[in-house]
Amino acid sequence: MSTVYISIGSNLEREKNVAQSIRLLNEHFDHLHCSTIYETVPVGFEGGLFYNLVVRFETELSPEDVVNALKSIETTCGRIHNQKKFSNRSLDLDLLLYDDLVINQGKVNIPRQEILDYAFVLEPLAEIAPDLIHPQIGKSYAELWQAFDQSDQAQRPLTGLLERMLFDQ
């Protein structure tokens, strides 16, 4: 079994889409562990606030098959895949880490660069994997988060929201 980390983001019908994505991930993968949901300001465009979180799970699928499963879940949740990069999203699922592999080919680019660039990825990753070491940088995600310039990326944790969303639906 391999340990995988993915990011989830939504700013369109965000409660519905995040809850549905978690239920669908739970049908495909084992031992889901979710970070807190963070409400975040869009980066790179004007739009509604996002819900973002990171999820860890175990799988026997290859990295390519995990990416394909994530794309299928996005489609089920109404994602249109030919949208421009910085735009509103019903659902965005990105493979961040797959064990300690480093892969840059086709649809699989891990570890994902967004880990180092965006608070909405790094903070929830540091929350659920503080001692895990970035396979290229050699520092823990807690260390990376502590050194991250948080001044220009507004977000706030919404403790307990995921549990309420999943329980209410």
Residue 94 annotated among the catalytic residues of the structure: yes
Catalytic residue among 30, 56, 65, 94: 94
pTM, two decimal places? 0.93
Is the confidence at residue 105, as pLDDT, over 60? yes
Residue 117 annotated among the catalytic residues of the structure: no
Catalytic residue among 79, 99, 112, 152: 79
Band of pLDDT at residue 164, cut at 50, 70 and 90: confident
Q: What is the largest CA-CA distance in the chain?
A: 41
Residue 79 annotated among the catalytic residues of the structure: yes
Higher model confidence: residue 134 or residue 152?
134
Catalytic residue among 14, 56, 92, 112: 92
- Mean pLDDT calculated for residue range 128-145: 97
Q: Please report how many Cα atoms fall inside a 13 Å half-sphere around the Cα of residue 138, on the Cβ side.
A: 0
User: In this predicted model, what pLDDT tens digit does every residue of 138-156 receive, in sequence order?
Assistant: 999 999 999 999 888 889 9
Residues 6+ apart with CB under 8 A from 20: 76, 77
Catalytic residue among 14, 56, 89, 112: 89
**Among 36, 42, 6, which residue's Cα sits nearest to residue 24?**
6
User: In this predicted model, what pLDDT tens digit does every residue of 44-101 receive, in sequence order?
Assistant: 778 889 999 999 999 999 999 999 999 999 988 876 656 666 667 889 999 999 999 9
